[in-house]
Structure 1
């Protein structure tokens, strides 16, 4: 053994001062949980001993509903987890039966969405949406023209893609290509970045499949009144509002974020990076034909009597068939947002429990009882629905909370519950104030290598767009929809 001291290589030496130590345990804040438990206990006592007239089922439902809303608004717990836990608690308390909960998970609405997502995957895989978008946008010769052509393209996408997040994912490559072409005009790029999610969210009201909240609203109306809103009726009522609100929003974005020279200046777009080859391909023709057929079948349901879910399933099987299809069924099913479907089913069960237990009617009377004027009631509903995204981020959750309350209140005032629920759902489509308010806003806020917008830009937009949206919904509810067959009284 030699007398020299051999040291380990530098990368193997661990100084004593830097030796690994046991991780420090974070202090768990127990007081918020204690406050929540005490608050729910106080509410339970007030409901039970306060002479409210609510049945035990109604009291239990109201407690679970309050806890769910608090968890959605005040915690970071996943929305789907909260909704499913709330529905399960109602089953354990006997307010809902297990069959009722499972019926929502396997109901027609869920099957309709599954088939619609498969159909959307096939249409997207064909390249048809990108071709239509490029064909429209490529015609622009000014910034104002570009903004309105982008608006038109995004509005059309509502008929092909059943969720706002899916439409946003489809639109991101188009925006990135536009941003690259217009990189020398940063104000125009920022305006387009704001315009894309703004129109995606506002145009969703055009169709029943535009957002899961629409299906939740129709489902709750069916549970409360026996009839919901079909695809054709929703299209008749929602498309005019989507057209007007989307194009007015485009003008507002241009006014707020670009100058007069920006709007009037001409340019030439280079979209070669995303431009498809000339002429429709065979998959594109098949996708276009199938999408048109499914849309016509949905709109003409009163004539043939085939339910929208069955029509969607036929379309899904055709778009994924071995010879005719454009996508494999297993790949399309892998892209279905199952968490969203479970969330919708659970919130629908929660909303149905609110209505059937009498909790919704009692709460609506307690909150809206002082409002005796039908017009003021409608104004309050629209304003609350417009601002609800500040507390409840999920669009479907907002409908699950608001619609069960407005239905009995509308009936008590002698109003048409379908009209009031539709107005509430349309107003709840405004969710632009924060990047966390909606997935499309968050997606366009953070794009690597592409400048977009910040929090101040969203606040500036919302300061004008919020009142504009609420005013438009009220105008349509009072003046336009009655002409289309939906009277609010």
Structure 2
């Protein structure tokens, strides 16, 4: 009976998140309430998301993003980027995708980056003669959305699914992911190569002919706030990249940086501005996802689900590539059912059973899911892409078209090469 109640609760929660019939934060709160009242799972497990590093890194990301905007550093960066984005269509799209990816290294919030970059990119589009509602306009808006979400999966603290995965792995297996090894694992293929594919497909599907314009230089001198924030960001990035050496989680580094941005005199944000920037709705959603993952593991649902699904997968220690493609397919199925943010919460508890059946290391199987949840078949599976489409007023059919073409390119090119690269790193055999 307890298992049935737990299964019903998990299915209902995932269904509400996937269909967006209720706000995401409200679904999370309902999950917390139902799990504590109707099951015997300890509250420490149900609310473990609030103690997770992922929760605090998301909160820190909102604070850093707000500080970047308030100090004027965002405007300075935009002015510096204008000359590099103006020119040919390929250069404009390529520059947009490159900036979207580069911003993920210093601003760990997909929504924050899209909110920062979209007005800048579309303003440059207007100056280049690309009209609102044109195919070129749609292409640039989608370049921001897809470049921000899909490529940021290669940077550990840069998006919500990564953080949910890291928190779920920590809660389920007691393992900790490190910034630099993760970056080395995914940047060459899932970051750089996939970025090239995004640029190529946007240029192919949304052709345009921008007209040259003279970029305006940002002549104002650096303010004290800009200098201090730049130093904080550089120190934060350096600490993130060396976490394997000093052992401090990226979340706690981000939390220290956020605190520095909030300190009187030293910082940049007031109490009211912190309240506006912190977006507790998203933080509650992340805590709910992490709590759901721990709940699935604690109730034994993960093992039961594995007993049902894993025999259906062609997992074979003698054919590791087939096992890899099986995991990729499972991840895509979960992506369609639960959206990208929910994939790690459901997949992670199954990873041990998959590892046992496939003969591959647990850590390798856990990393396989990144390729799946970073490749949505349809825009609704990734809320940052939906937000980008709304900001750019992109019709749904245009977003679906790019999503499907990228999914095909990922299956044919990215996924096999990611497997080869992980083999070179010694993570898989065959």
Which category of TM-score, normalised to the shorter sequence, fits these structures? 0.7 to 0.9
- What does residue 394 of structure 2 align with? 453
Is 1:414 aligned to 2:341, yes or no? Answer: no
- Where does residue 48 of structure 1 map in the other structure? none
Match of 2:328 among 362, 382, 404: 382
Distance 1:120 1:462, change over 3 A: closer
- Going from structure 1 to structure 2, the CA distance change for 1:443 and 1:112 (only over 3 Å counts) comes to closer
- Change over 3 Å in CA distance of 1:118–1:75 after alignment to 2: closer
How many residues matched?
422
For 1:271 and 1:415, locate their aligned partners in 2 and report how far apart those are by CA, in whole Å: 53
Report what 1:245 is aligned to. 194
Which runs of no fewer than 5 residues in structure 2 stay unpaired? none
Q: Tell me the equivalent position of 1:368.
A: 310
* Mean CA deviation greater in 248-257 or 229-238: 229-238
Match of 1:305 in 2: 247
Greater Rg over alpha carbons, structure: 1
Alignment-derived partner of residue 100 in structure 2? 154
Contact map agreement 1:207 1:231 (CA 8 A) in 2: yes
**Given the superposition, is the C-alpha separation of residues 193 and 58 from structure 1 closer, same or farther in structure 2, using an over 3 Å criterion?**
same
Distance 1:111 1:62 in 2: 28
- The answer on whether the counterparts of 1:182 and 1:188 sit within 8 Å (CA) in structure 2 is no
Determine the C-alpha separation between the residues in 2 that align with 1:476 and 1:91. 44
Report the secondary structure of 1:138's partner residue.
helix
Is residue 73–residue 391 contact of structure 1 (8 Å, CA) maintained in 2? yes
- Provide the C-alpha distance between the structure 2 equivalents of 1:116 and 1:59, rounded to a whole number of angstroms: 37
- Structure 2 residue 276 is the aligned partner of structure 1 residue 334: yes
Are the aligned partners of 1:420 and 1:488 in contact in 2 as well (CA < 8 Å)?
Answer: no
Give the aligned CA root-mean-square deviation in angstroms.
2.7
Q: 1:82 to 1:198 in 2, by over 3 A?
A: same
Distance 1:422 1:60 in 2: 30
Q: Residue in 1 aligned with 2:386? A: 442
CA distance in 2, matches of 1:411, 1:70: 29
Q: Is the 8 A contact 1:168 1:440 kept in 2?
A: yes
Structure 1 gaps of 5+ residues are 1-55
The corresponding residue for 2:73 is: 128
Shift of 1:485: 5.3
**For 1:51-88, what per-residue CA distance to the aligned partner results, in whole angstroms no more than 9, with x for missing partners?**
xxxxx554443232222233334561223323332343
Give CA-to-partner distance per residue, 1:111-146, whole Å, 9 cap, x none: 333233222322232233443344234124311111
Change (3 A) 1:82 1:118: same
Paired with 1:426 and 1:226, the residues of 2 have a C-alpha distance of 22
Partner of 1:290: 232
The 1:418–1:84 alpha-carbon spacing in structure 2 relative to 1, beyond 3 Å, is farther
SS at match of 2:359: coil
Q: Distance in 2 between matches of 1:195 and 1:422?
A: 25
TM-score normalised to the size of structure 1?
0.78
Q: Does structure 1 retain, via aligned residues, the 8 Å contact 2:25–2:281?
A: yes
Greater RCO structure (CA 8 Å; 6+ sep): 2
